[in-house]
Structure 1
Amino acid sequence: MTQCALATLIAVTMTQTPATAKEPTPGLSQSIAADQPLATDRAELSAGHVDLGPRYVDNQWTLLIHDGTQARPVWRNPDETVLRVSDAALQTVPDDPAYAFLGVDAGERVYVVPQVQNPDVVWLGWNTQDPRVMQSIDRGVTLTLLGVRGPGSLTTYLQSGTFAAPQPLWRSTEPKAQPFWAEVNTHTHANWVFTAPGVYLIAVQVSADLISGETVTATRTLRFAVGDATSTDEAYAATADIPVPAGQASPAGDRTGAAERTDGSDRPLMVGLTVAAALLAVGLVLLLLRGRGAKRRAERERAASPSKEKL
């Protein structure tokens, strides 16, 4: 196994400024037509060219899977797509301290979606090349790993050539959100390393500042079936309440196309309005009860005292 072949897609140390995922692999030139359709059927992708990428669907910003495994490429919904990592992806971790970030002992067998294409294994990367995306975003997008659920760990990294140091992007063992930056009109592939067979659910967020000044964000969950024996039906049926780091969108609701304020200035106002409404409701209830009590006391006093007709 070559050192360059062993890799993972999304592991980055959490910093205030997202890491930049630079293009390390030549020969990745491609263009994406604006009229490529959105497929509605389910699909299991086990070999061939596949990318993650932002796109607009019905004027809503989202994250989709670009399926280039067939003659006419299509976009696919992550909820209806299983990425199969077959036993053909098994490789041995080298005895090299440069790969200590994988958290796996040398000599162990892991499943690797390689940065350099293996025709027997799905070839997974990302692109920011949808025409409308390129026209609307300001400079690039941020891809963030929010969380992973699976029987083992996931690591994603880049490596330029056989002797260059690996550049981790995502690691599921890290407790914090892990962002990296991708320039507009880029197409990149990386190494994805899974340490055990089974179903993996991976929550990924894509966000960007638009030329219009808005910020858009969407969160989607990717489904992986790792190993030949892992059931595709199990991968489709799997659900996971992936904890979301503070300040990130929840993967449960896919905040597709949400244009949001980034300063949080509307939050105190909403809290204040909620508290005021609650106090008003309590006041009205107390006023109503007090009025009813006063009415009952008045009726008891009239019943106990002689009426003017008896005087």
Structure 2
Amino acid sequence: MLSLAGRVMLAAALAVPSPDGLSQSLAPDQGQAAGPAVLETGHVDVGPRFRDGAFRVQIHDDEATPPVWRSPDEAVIRVRDTAAQEIPDDPAYAFLGAPAGTSVHVLPQTQREDVVWLGWNTQDPGLLERAGRGVTMNLRGVQGPGKLTVFLQSGTLGAPQVLWNSDDAYPQALWVDRNTHTHANWVFGAPGVYLVALDVTAELADGGTATASTTLRFAVGDAASPDEARAATITVASPSAAPAVPAADRGFPGWLLGVLGLAGLLLVALLVSVAVRGAAVRRRAERERASA
């Protein structure tokens, strides 16, 4: 079992960044970059945006000077071997699905100079003009040589909060308020190329919705090829027919909806039965009056 001091050190490495680290605003005139790019250090966010009248999911590259937006089809997020860490001997991290001491690649929640700092934001000025409460980010599938887990660590001793787990059923919904900037821990169970299918649905202020799909591309480990990641095609996921509803926004749990649906069917059957019996009684009464 990890000692208290060890847990403090580990949690500090994964702790929530300071407010100054997350405070940002995006200029409306930030450019759209074209051509392939490998993002392996610096600040990077995935974010929905409205551009040229279209809703799409893009990657905000804050490492470029000046910052730019990039297409996920052209940008590969590279996770170098400097991101390798060992899973601690602590049951709090059992959700990572590997024994203590296993080496995994981690994009941490706090920024490190030698590792890309990956998060997401809902701060595009075009989005802020049209969005209502926020957006739902649906993890639609993960293709890669190992497990992907995304989680938050709150404070130095707070329990981890799992947001996405590639071992669970899809889609996996994550609600994000408008004008939000968040970073989390991204844990890759084995080196290689990963493709992460993502749908983002925005609630609009006019009562409508807008949905966009994309695939994030990762080259994990120094031996993984960014070119291979850029050329790869995901085969484990297809576009969602409808976005999943985050648990916090569901009006009723699924089992209760099932019970209510069954009760409705039984009520309809009862009403039909009563109507049929009533008609039979009326017909018998009419025959008896005719005989009399």
Q: What is the match of residue 26 of structure 1?
A: 19
Q: Which amino acid aligns with 1:114?
A: P
Task: Give the secondary structure class of the aligned counterpart of 1:98.
Answer: helix
Could you tell me how far apart the structure 2 residues matched to 1:52 and 1:147 are? Answer: 16
Q: What is the match of residue 238 of structure 1?
A: 232
Q: What is the match of residue 103 of structure 1?
A: 97
Work out whether residues 24 and 160 of structure 1, in 8 Å CA contact, stay in contact via their aligned partners in 2. no
Q: What is the match of residue 257 of structure 1?
A: none
Q: What is the match of residue 134 of structure 2?
A: 140
Task: Give the secondary structure class of the aligned counterpart of 1:139.
Answer: strand
**CA-to-aligned-CA distance 1:98-148 (integer Å, 9 cap, x gap):** 111111111100000000001100000000111111111111111110000
Q: Which runs of 4+ in 1 moved over 4 A?
A: none
1:152 corresponds, among 146, 159, 172, to 146
> Higher relative CO (CA 8 A, sep ≥ 6), structure 1 or 2?
1
Compute the displacement of 1:5 (Å).
Answer: 3.4
Q: How many residues are matched?
A: 234
Compute the displacement of 1:58 (Å).
Answer: 1.9
Stretches of structure 2 that go unaligned for 5 or more consecutive residues are 1-8, 244-292
Could you tell me how far apart the structure 1 residues matched to 2:237 and 2:216 are? Answer: 15
Compute the displacement of 1:57 (Å).
Answer: 2.3
Q: Which amino acid aligns with 1:72?
A: P
Superposition RMSD on alpha carbons, in Å?
1.7
2:226 matches 1:226: no
Q: Which amino acid aligns with 1:217?
A: T
Work out whether residues 17 and 109 of structure 2, in 8 Å CA contact, stay in contact via their aligned partners in 1. no
Could you tell me how far apart the structure 2 residues matched to 1:236 and 1:134 are? Answer: 30
Work out whether residues 14 and 153 of structure 2, in 8 Å CA contact, stay in contact via their aligned partners in 1. no
Work out whether residues 127 and 188 of structure 1, in 8 Å CA contact, stay in contact via their aligned partners in 2. yes
Q: What is the match of residue 196 of structure 2?
A: 202
Stretches of structure 1 that go unaligned for 5 or more consecutive residues are 8-22, 250-311
Q: What is the match of residue 216 of structure 1?
A: 210
Could you tell me how far apart the structure 2 residues matched to 1:151 and 1:238 are? Answer: 13
Compute the displacement of 1:229 (Å).
Answer: 0.7
2:174 matches 1:180: yes
Could you tell me how far apart the structure 2 residues matched to 1:248 and 1:225 are? Answer: 30
Compute the displacement of 1:245 (Å).
Answer: 7.8
What's the TM-score, normalizing by structure 2?
Answer: 0.77
Q: Which amino acid aligns with 1:211?
A: A
Could you tell me how far apart the structure 2 residues matched to 1:207 and 1:246 are? Answer: 11
Q: What is the match of residue 41 of structure 2?
A: 47
**CA-to-aligned-CA distance 1:35-65 (integer Å, 9 cap, x gap):** 1011012100000000000111221101000
- Choose 170-179 or 146-155, whichever is displaced more: 170-179
Work out whether residues 147 and 243 of structure 1, in 8 Å CA contact, stay in contact via their aligned partners in 2. yes
What's the TM-score, normalizing by structure 1?
Answer: 0.72
Could you tell me how far apart the structure 2 residues matched to 1:231 and 1:81 are? Answer: 13
Larger Rg: 1
Work out whether residues 109 and 184 of structure 2, in 8 Å CA contact, stay in contact via their aligned partners in 1. yes
2:153 matches 1:167: no
Task: Give the secondary structure class of the aligned counterpart of 1:230.
Answer: coil
Which structure shows the higher helix fraction?
A: 2
Work out whether residues 5 and 191 of structure 1, in 8 Å CA contact, stay in contact via their aligned partners in 2. no
Could you tell me how far apart the structure 1 residues matched to 2:142 and 2:166 are? Answer: 6
Compute the displacement of 1:6 (Å).
Answer: 5.3
Work out whether residues 6 and 112 of structure 1, in 8 Å CA contact, stay in contact via their aligned partners in 2. no
Could you tell me how far apart the structure 2 residues matched to 1:227 and 1:24 are? Answer: 25
Q: What is the match of residue 250 of structure 2?
A: none
Could you tell me how far apart the structure 1 residues matched to 2:218 and 2:33 are? Answer: 19
Could you tell me how far apart the structure 1 residues matched to 2:199 and 2:12 are? Answer: 27
Could you tell me how far apart the structure 2 residues matched to 1:105 and 1:125 are? Answer: 27
Could you tell me how far apart the structure 1 residues matched to 2:89 and 2:238 are? Answer: 35
- Between the aligned residues of both structures, percent identity stands at 58
2:23 matches 1:5: no
CA spacing shift, 1:42–1:176, aligned 2, 3 Å: same
Work out whether residues 87 and 104 of structure 2, in 8 Å CA contact, stay in contact via their aligned partners in 1. yes
Q: What is the match of residue 82 of structure 2?
A: 88
Could you tell me how far apart the structure 1 residues matched to 2:76 and 2:24 are? Answer: 24
